[in-house]
């Protein structure tokens, strides 16, 4: 295809502002999808995506379009639409998708206005030098206020309110005009056709039948079906088994040239060998310089995953192995817990990522799991100057700690004016420091904070929503680390630490944490034949204490007389019950007690 006819663009929006629905209308209008095969959110291919109505993996579709109206009517173009995930956990994927485009359609719900992820995505698009077409969606809604939000958008990106297009992804109104404008306003890709090939990987997906399918945008040169390709970050070379475009399913083609977007199949079995952000070149005539921006995905949040039924451990390991094929950001290693048995310590990009993996393990692999409270990664400097990285609170060193560093994020909260006080109170309570505050319009405010990541992953979003009646929105991005006064709180049962409840918390919050867990366990753990103290401690210093009083649990005493079968039955029953007991030192704890204490904390 002549690069002059190509337009590569993405749609960026806050979640639920209608990106996938608009993409559906585009697929229909360009006749890429047969009307009989059309289903809602066509591009959201994973079950969880369809059910939750969110897009997790990016997808790219090639659509032919002929300008319908105006002076340039009849001009033919090839549009490559790259659908991006909208959620904060996947910012890196969004930014790679954006780097594959020249233009972005900035979609805003005309009944909601600009939200936190609208801003975050807009900034990413501007960083990638994309041309922006502002579009108000859902104009069919009675509550839509296109005039008001066109002002807001114009104020935000410059330009006039009239430049803002108005569409309804639901009814299709305005979508043909938007496609015309995409061809008119976005610039075609530029690249050197004769240079050694360079293509950027913006997505990489594992398919059980075909192995890894890699989505690329060619910047320079050409990749052809017979080429042997090379990954520039590792130098690994692979035979090309297939190359083609997606329209909307995979269609083979002889090759991909400058500006084209398509897929490659090489037979590798693991997305780690074909990583998002990496540059592909031709082995026989390699480019010397990779395209910029490659980053290794780095887990930000860790949690222990344990099968509720210990015999599911091998099944859990197999399931993680399978998920990893498709997820370069997921990490895990075996871990044992005195309380929970055998499991894995898993690393995730963020909370949504954690939730999605947990849900897939339960749903697609039929596993019943318990997960420990999520924690972030700490960098600990010891008195002797050595340094350790802690991904599991129970590994936090007991003494001789000089300094502790925790990851922080730069958070943006958008809220109606009325809730500014409530949002500030929440952020301050979470050790946030205010960076700045701007009015987007007379009644909507943008607040920028630096916050410890650990404070965000613990119930921050729910709190934000409940304190603002659901009106505030949140986005955040990693922003380095800070030194903090952090301590490890251990929970001891009859003098034995229970690893699953160790937590790294700020000094000022240690007491509350200790009291909370100790009193929960006191209610959940049944009485034993001896008195059991539950203590919360920092090192050897006890900061909170509860006691489970002793009981003489003589079941046989209940059987008056000599009914021997009844006695036997009771003994059997007691034995059954013991199977699901975990021993912590001398204390018998039903596994359910651990699960209940973890799930409500």
**What 3-state class would DSSP assign to 198?**
strand
**What 3-state class would DSSP assign to 418?**
helix
Name the nearest CA neighbour of 500 among 335, 349, 354: 335
Q: Is 53 in the site for ligand GDP (CB under 6 A)?
A: yes
User: CA neighbours within 13 Å on the CB side: how many for 168?
Assistant: 11
Q: Is 515 in the site for ligand GDP (CB under 6 A)?
A: no
- Whats the size of the chain, residue-wise? 601
Tokens of 571: 């003994």
Q: Is 20 in the site for Mg ion (CB under 5 A)?
A: yes
Please report where in the chains the tokens 């986005």 appear, as a residue: 475
Is 506 annotated as belonging to a binding site?
no
Could you say which of 55, 117, 204, 468 contacts Mg ion (CB under 5 A)? 55
The two beta strands, 76-83 and 6-13, are parallel
CB of 533 to ligand GDP, least distance (A): 51
Q: Specify the residue, 86 or 299, whose C-beta has the smaller distance to Mg ion.
A: 86
Is 372 annotated as belonging to a binding site?
no
Tokens of 109: 């719900």
Q: Specify the residue, 41 or 522, whose C-beta has the smaller distance to ligand GDP.
A: 41
Q: Is 97 in the site for Mg ion (CB under 5 A)?
A: no
Is 520 annotated as belonging to a binding site?
no
Q: Is 54 in the site for ligand GDP (CB under 6 A)?
A: yes
Q: Specify the residue, 106 or 409, whose C-beta has the smaller distance to ligand GDP.
A: 106
Q: Specify the residue, 11 or 265, whose C-beta has the smaller distance to ligand GDP.
A: 11
Per-residue exposure over 72-81, b if at least 16 CB sit within 10 Å of its own CB, e if not? eeeeebbbbb
Q: Is 138 in the site for ligand GDP (CB under 6 A)?
A: yes
CB of 171 to ligand GDP, least distance (A): 7
Distance CA 193, CA 3 (A): 10
DSSP 308: S
Nearest residue relative to Mg ion (C-beta): 20
Q: Is 502 in the site for Mg ion (CB under 5 A)?
A: no
The window from 14-22, 190-198, 298-306, 484-492 that contacts Mg ion (CB under 5 A) reads: 14-22
- Largest Cα separation within the chain, whole Å, is 102
Q: What, of Mg ion, ligand GDP, none, does residue 17 touch, CB below 5 to 8 Å by kind?
A: ligand GDP
Is 20 annotated as belonging to a binding site?
yes
Distance CA 249, CA 251 (A): 6
The window from 166-174, 251-259, 297-305, 544-552 that contacts ligand GDP (CB under 6 A) reads: 166-174
Is 21 annotated as belonging to a binding site?
yes
DSSP 285: B
Q: Is 17 in the site for ligand GDP (CB under 6 A)?
A: yes
CB of 117 to ligand GDP, least distance (A): 10
Q: What, of Mg ion, ligand GDP, none, does residue 349 touch, CB below 5 to 8 Å by kind?
A: none
Q: Is 13 in the site for ligand GDP (CB under 6 A)?
A: yes
Q: Specify the residue, 173 or 242, whose C-beta has the smaller distance to ligand GDP.
A: 173
The window from 118-126, 137-145, 259-267, 394-402 that contacts ligand GDP (CB under 6 A) reads: 137-145
DSSP string covering 61-83, please? EEEEEE--SSTTTT-EEEEEEEE
Name the nearest CA neighbour of 104 among 88, 120, 90: 120
Q: Specify the residue, 19 or 520, whose C-beta has the smaller distance to Mg ion.
A: 19
Q: Specify the residue, 13 or 60, whose C-beta has the smaller distance to ligand GDP.
A: 13
Distance CA 95, CA 202 (A): 9
DSSP string covering 151-181, please? HHHHHHHSS-GGGSEE--TTT-TTHHHHHHH
Provide the strand spans (E) within 349-472: 369-371, 375-376, 378-382, 387-390, 401-416, 433-441, 444-452
The window from 49-57, 239-247, 352-360, 477-485 that contacts Mg ion (CB under 5 A) reads: 49-57
The answer to whether the CB of 149 falls within 8 A of the CB of 165 is no
CB of 109 to ligand GDP, least distance (A): 8
Q: Is 140 in the site for ligand GDP (CB under 6 A)?
A: yes
Could you say which of 8, 9, 20, 133 contacts ligand GDP (CB under 6 A)? 20
Distance CA 220, CA 253 (A): 18
Distance CA 300, CA 306 (A): 20
Per-residue exposure over 469-495, b if at least 16 CB sit within 10 Å of its own CB, e if not? eebbbbbbebeebeebebbbbbbbbbe
CB of 495 to ligand GDP, least distance (A): 51
Tokens of 271: 């997305």
Q: Specify the residue, 117 or 253, whose C-beta has the smaller distance to Mg ion.
A: 117
Please state, in angstroms and as integers, the Cα–Cα distance from residue 61 to each residue in 27, 185, 276, following that order.
Answer: 9, 19, 18
Distance CA 427, CA 219 (A): 43
Is 140 annotated as belonging to a binding site?
yes
Q: Is 170 in the site for ligand GDP (CB under 6 A)?
A: yes
Q: Specify the residue, 54 or 510, whose C-beta has the smaller distance to Mg ion.
A: 54
Distance CA 96, CA 10 (A): 11
Site for ligand GDP in 177-206 (CB under 6 A): none
Nearest residue relative to ligand GDP (C-beta): 18
Q: Specify the residue, 110 or 212, whose C-beta has the smaller distance to ligand GDP.
A: 110
Q: Specify the residue, 97 or 535, whose C-beta has the smaller distance to ligand GDP.
A: 97
Q: Is 141 in the site for ligand GDP (CB under 6 A)?
A: yes
Is 17 annotated as belonging to a binding site?
yes
Could you say which of 30, 55, 84, 97 contacts ligand GDP (CB under 6 A)? 55
Q: At a CB cut-off of 8 Å and minimum separation 6, what does 197 contact?
A: 218, 220, 221, 222, 223, 227, 280, 281, 282, 285, 287
Q: Residue numbers of the site for ligand GDP (CB under 6 A)?
A: 13, 15-21, 41, 53-55, 86, 137-138, 140-141, 168-170
**Contacting positions for Mg ion (CB under 5 A):** 19-20, 55
Specify binding-site residues for GTP. 16-21, 137-140
Q: Which residues are annotated as a binding site?
A: 16-21, 137-140
């Amino acid at each position: 295809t002549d690069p002059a006819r190509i337009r590569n663009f993405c749609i960026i929006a806050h979640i639920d502002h209608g990106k996938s629905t608009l993409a559906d209308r585009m697929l229909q209008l360009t006749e890429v999808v047969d009307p009989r095969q059309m289903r809602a959110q066509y591009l959201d291919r994973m079950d969880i995506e369809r059910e939750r109505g969110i897009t997790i993996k990016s997808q790219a579709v090639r659509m032919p379009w002929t300008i319908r109206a105006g002076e340039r009517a009849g001009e033919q173009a090839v549009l490559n639409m790259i659908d991006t995930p909208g959620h904060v956990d996947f910012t890196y994927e969004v930014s790679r998708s954006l780097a594959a485009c020249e233009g972005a359609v900035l979609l805003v719900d005309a009944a909601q206005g600009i939200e936190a992820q609208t801003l975050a995505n807009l900034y990413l698009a501007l960083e990638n030098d994309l041309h922006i077409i502002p579009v108000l969606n859902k104009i069919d809604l009675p509550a839509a206020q296109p005039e008001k939000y066109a002002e807001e958008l114009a104020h935000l990106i410059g330009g006039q309110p009239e430049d803002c297009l108005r569409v309804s992804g639901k009814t299709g109104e305005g979508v043909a005009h938007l496609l015309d404008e995409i061809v008119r306003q976005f610039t075609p890709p530029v690249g050197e056709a004769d240079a050694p090939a360079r293509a950027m990987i913006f997505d990489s997906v594992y398919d059980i039948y075909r192995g890894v399918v890699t989505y690329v945008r060619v910047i320079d040169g050409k990749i052809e079906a017979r080429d042997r390709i090379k990954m520039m970050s590792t130098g690994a070379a692979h035979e090309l088994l297939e190359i083609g475009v997606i329209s909307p399913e995979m269609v083979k083609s002889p090759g991909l040239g400058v500006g084209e977007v398509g897929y490659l199949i090489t037979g590798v079995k693991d997305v780690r060998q074909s990583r998002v952000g990496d540059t592909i070149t031709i082995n026989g005539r390699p480019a010397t310089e990779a395209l910029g921006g490659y980053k290794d995905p780095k887990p930000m949040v860790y949690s222990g995953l344990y099968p509720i039924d210990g015999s599911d451990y091998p099944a859990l390991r197999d399931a993680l192995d399978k998920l990893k094929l498709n997820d370069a950001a997921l990490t895990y290693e075996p871990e044992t817990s005195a309380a929970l048995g055998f499991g894995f310590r898993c690393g995730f990009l963020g909370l949504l990522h954690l939730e999605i993996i947990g849900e897939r393990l339960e749903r697609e692999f039929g596993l019943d799991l318990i997960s420990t409270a999520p924690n972030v990664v700490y960098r600990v400097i010891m008195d002797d100057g050595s340094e350790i990285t802690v991904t599991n609170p129970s590994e936090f060193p007991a003494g001789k700690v000089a300094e502790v560093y925790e990851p922080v994020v730069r958070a943006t909260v958008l809220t109606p004016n009325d809730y500014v006080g409530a949002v500030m109170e929440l952020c301050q309570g979470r050790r946030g420091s205010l960076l700045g505050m701007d009015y987007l319009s007379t009644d909507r405010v943008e607040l920028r904070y630096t916050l410890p990541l650990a404070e965000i992953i613990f119930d921050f979003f729910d709190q934000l929503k409940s304190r603002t009646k659901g009106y505030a929105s949140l986005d955040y991005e990693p922003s380095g680390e800070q030194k903090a006064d952090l301590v490890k709180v251990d929970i001891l049962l009859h003098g034995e630490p229970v690893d699953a409840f160790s937590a790294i918390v700020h000094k000022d919050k240690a007491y509350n944490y200790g009291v909370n867990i100790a009193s929960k366990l006191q209610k959940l753990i049944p009485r034993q034949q001896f008195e059991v103290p539950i203590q919360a401690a920092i090192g050897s210093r006890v900061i909170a204490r509860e006691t489970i009083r002793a009981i003489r649990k003589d079941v046989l005493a209940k059987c008056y007389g000599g009914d021997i079968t009844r006695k036997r039955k009771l003994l059997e029953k007691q034995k059954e019950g013991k199977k699901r007991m975990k021993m912590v030192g001398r204390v018998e704890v039903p596994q359910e007690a651990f699960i209940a204490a973890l799930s409500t904390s």
